[in-house]
A and B are shown apart, each in its own frame.
Chain A
């Protein structure tokens, strides 16, 4: 595990770094008063890195940090992430060879893709920094867990369906990261997960049908989407590209009200490989279930704010309009889906969901506050929601 020190207001806060991802990290230390910008010092085998960060949330359990995406800090963090994971079940075995070519000033220039993988894109140092297959990766351990996707689905991975966007590097990335998954099926799980007992149950506990803006980071491409539902174990969302079960991802949740970000590492527990056509745009979309790495009890503290966010005052109008657009893209095919309810949902549940959505998206709420074109979209969304509601309750 990596130790991190946070410099803020002339003071230093030290703790274990968890859930380190290209977007952010979670520092275990009690400093609930912290906010704003700070500097994170990452202890690393090769030395120490200073990374400017922004504090998203601070509490007694820890501090959620996000890295400034414009900095090279992403790369550093990723490097640390790769190195910080123990090679064996012993948590103390932190000493791992640093990834090749990592230097603060010369990452993009010096780095070369591993010879074993000729397909890696030139531009993609972040993916290149994912440790090569022979190096330990926590994701390999995850496969063993009985509650996760059956291992048989992984080796038999079908080729990703044809893409529309030619510049999308995702397939090659999967080619890089997935061999690691399949080649080492018997790796021990990291100690931290052992300590937490069971990893989160698949679809742990209650799911909340909520549309929270997320960025979905599979290390090569950053996808902005919305959650379809969220629980204290993970999220379900739709993306434009297929993912592979077992693939490691970073999910950044963006709070609909205050805009705070929370980055969580997770693993694709379920990935549909057959695209369903988006009824509006006609483009293929793929269902992805992501299981967060933290055990549910820890996630509860982090996510409860997000999960209840629809009851808080509405967020900036722009975000609502963007969410409305996303909901419109769901199309009219499945009223259950649009309202975010189960097939078995009772009339009361359906009405609750409808009222909650309407409360947020009704055009009257944004009267005179959005341009005419967007008002029209909100009108249309309202009609769709109403049609779905009426279909399901009539």
Chain B
């Protein structure tokens, strides 16, 4: 009996591609016209019938307001996010606020979440497998942009699950693209995978040796893609149209959709020729659009976007501690990489010709299929994947304490011992955070572990061990143990909706956060504070015998404190100094602080060991 194939799914912004390895051979799922690129488009006909793919794209020209494309850009997003607001301007369909701060799309009498849209598209694809592969698959390896956060990953996974498929792995797209490359023997090879897709840009640096693929660093931008270049052309065409006719085309969804379509076609044509005429008769009423675009003009518009991607490449190389001349290959993935200017800029940046022989449209799905085959048979390219984002907990001073830094190989496990920072503190509240911002509240909160009923002792006495473990399926297990009471709390953040997805972390209640033990606190930290949190920060610095300056800004009030070996020696505001300045600063209800560690000038102290009075 042949085992059921594991699908590799590249759920793209513009197109979805499905591949699988069957009988040792790579197969791409084709539709009845032999096309392997399946437009990620969904439309609802007047009859209520849902169409996806090519038919939906065709119908979209007639009913743009009932047609969703680029749902990937909205998946797992929250209403208030800037990118959602930007998408509202960019797309002809209506995006509204959904339940629990999410996003829904209005499609006539129906509303659908981006998740449901993706699920419907995938569901159709899964059905199609029956005719192509001879069986309906049950399991899939799905790719997501490297820089998708937890909420986006989870929503994607839910969509796949709703489509009737079990998600074995979520792979980062550029990593999957690298897996599509054949192993090349024992010689070590370093390559950059530059993935400029429809909606997202990703870059990964990968080392291949034998059959092992090691991800050294990965980075990206979830709102930088071919769609944005389309948008620029669209804007330009709309501007020309408005100049000619004085009609604001954005008010006419159907016209807008046609314009977008024309812009996309023009962009593709300009990859091969230097001029492109755009003629859209009866675009709005009787008014026609007649415009000409040149490569030069397009390149001038697109260049800033492409340069943005190269900046991310630079950052990624730095993270991998590599320079471009150490790389052996650069691999271009994503339809947009056919653009001559893009190739030119990328090749110039990396100082080499891009690798040939890779289909930029299907490489990601093929890599995912290969991973699926590896999981099933235990043989073939082995991926050493990394965590895309830092995972940590909040600590005193609204700071992120990273437990599993980004680019850590998974499965991974880390632990650290924390302590209380107030006397008689009986509650330790640890928010599980994802993100790289040192200010805790700016990161995404995945959940929370609370240890209550701690022994109400002196500050810095409690020992709370927090362990993070990411298992081989990418599930995060968090365990917190109070070593005094042996109290234990566990939290598993798998890919269900139990986690408080996507919610910005916000700040915790005062006096319940924890402080790390040891003096490994980074030399700078800063962030907003509320009420007595500043005291907590000072106590923490005091306990760690830090030396440096703390600048504080609270509304009108600005001041500086000097700490020497953990003792406050100096306080200064604009007008006051010494004890008075300290009292003024500590009385501030909220504000921002920044601690800069480093030697302090030898100046006469104007404070007299204030910690005794601070510690109440």
Contacts and interface: CB of A to CB of B under 8 A. Distances in A.
A293 interface: no
Interface residues on chain A, size class: 20 to 34
Contacts of A362: 382, 384
B378 interface: yes
Contacts of A359: 210-212, 382
B471 interface: yes
Contacts of B412: 383, 386
A382 B411 contact: yes
Contacts of A348: 188
30 contacts: A314-B379, A348-B188, A351-B188, A351-B209, A355-B209, A355-B210, A355-B212, A356-B210, A358-B212, A359-B210, A359-B211, A362-B382, A364-B382, A364-B383, A364-B472, A365-B374, A365-B379, A365-B382, A367-B168, A367-B472, A368-B376, A369-B378, A375-B472, A378-B472, A379-B471, A380-B413, A382-B411, A382-B472, A383-B412, A383-B413
Contacts of B379: 313-314, 365
Nearest to A365: B378
B406 interface: no
B210 to A, nearest CB: 6
Contacts of A369: 378
Contacts of B168: 367
B413 A367 contact: no
A366 B376 CA distance: 9
B411 A379 contact: yes
Interface string A370-394: 0000011011101100100000000
Say whether chain A's binding surface is mostly helix, strand, loop, or mixed: helix
A352 interface: yes
Give the bracket for the number of chain B residues in contact with chain A: 20 to 34
Interface string B185-204: 00010000000000000000
Contacts of A376: 471
A379 B472 contact: yes
B23 to A, nearest CB: 18
A364 B213 CA distance: 13
A314 B378 CA distance: 9
Interface in B374-408: 374-376, 378-379, 382-384
B411 A383 contact: yes
Given A364-B472, A379-B411, 16 more contacts: A314-B378, A355-B209, A355-B210, A358-B382, A359-B212, A363-B411, A365-B374, A367-B168, A367-B378, A368-B375, A368-B376, A376-B471, A378-B472, A382-B472, A383-B411, A383-B412
Interface of A: 313-314, 348, 351-352, 355-356, 358-359, 362-369, 375-376, 378-380, 382-383, 386
B421 interface: no
In this complex, which of A314, A356, A364, A382 has the most chain B Cβ atoms within 10 angstroms of its Cβ? A364
B561 to A, nearest CB: 36
Contacts of A378: 472
Nearest to A385: B409
B413 A364 contact: no
B305 to A, nearest CB: 35
Contacts of A366: 378
A364 B409 contact: no
A134 to B, nearest CB: 55
A348 B186 CA distance: 12
Among A314, A351, A379, max chain B CB count under 10 A is at A379
A355 B413 CA distance: 20
B171 to A, nearest CB: 11
A365 to B, nearest CB: 5
Nearest to B411: A379
B65 to A, nearest CB: 45
Contacts of B471: 376, 379
A72 to B, nearest CB: 41
Nearest to B413: A383
A362 B471 CA distance: 12
Interface in B283-339: none
Nearest to B169: A364
Q: Which has the most chain A C-beta neighbours within 10 Å: B376, B379, B413?
A: B413
Contacts of A314: 378-379
Interface string B428-472: 000000000000000000000000000000000000000000011
A364 B374 CA distance: 8
Contacts of B374: 364-365
A90 to B, nearest CB: 50
Contact of B209 (A352, A363, A365): A352
A382 to B, nearest CB: 6
B168 to A, nearest CB: 8
A367 B188 contact: no
A351 B471 CA distance: 23
A376 B469 CA distance: 11
B472 A358 contact: no
Given A313-B379, A379-B471, A386 B210 contact: no
Interface in B334-383: 374-376, 378-379, 382-383
Interface string B204-248: 000001111010000000000000000000000000000000000
Contact of B375 (A356, A358, A364): A364
Contacts of B375: 364, 367-368
Contacts of A356: 210
Contacts of B211: 359
Nearest to A313: B379
Nearest to B470: A379
A31 to B, nearest CB: 34
A351 B334 CA distance: 31
Contacts of A382: 409, 411, 472
Contacts of A351: 188, 209
A323 to B, nearest CB: 15
A386 B375 CA distance: 20
A358 B378 contact: no
- Nearest first, the 6 closest Cβ-Cβ pairs linking A and B are A363-B472, A379-B411, A355-B212, A365-B378, A367-B375, A386-B409
B253 to A, nearest CB: 47
Contacts of B382: 358-359, 362, 364-365
B530 to A, nearest CB: 38
B592 to A, nearest CB: 34
A367 to B, nearest CB: 5
Contacts of A313: 379
A279 B252 CA distance: 72
Contacts of B209: 351-352, 355
Residue in B168, B214, B374, B384 with the greatest tally of chain A CB atoms within 10 Å = B384
Nearest to A357: B212
Residue of B209, B376, B411 with most chain A CB atoms under a 10 A cut-off: B411
B384 to A, nearest CB: 7
A369 B214 CA distance: 23
Contacts of A352: 209
Contacts of A380: 413
A352 B185 CA distance: 12
Nearest to A389: B409
A366 B472 CA distance: 11
A39 B212 CA distance: 45
Contacts of B214: 355
Nearest to A379: B411
A105 B214 CA distance: 61
A169 to B, nearest CB: 41
Contacts of A358: 212, 382, 384
A87 B327 CA distance: 66
A359 B380 CA distance: 10
B382 to A, nearest CB: 6
Contacts of B409: 382, 386
A379 to B, nearest CB: 4
A88 to B, nearest CB: 51
A375 B374 CA distance: 16
Of A356, A366, A380, A383, chain B has the most CB atoms within 10 Å of the CB of A383
Nearest to A376: B471
A379 B410 CA distance: 9
Contacts of B384: 358, 362
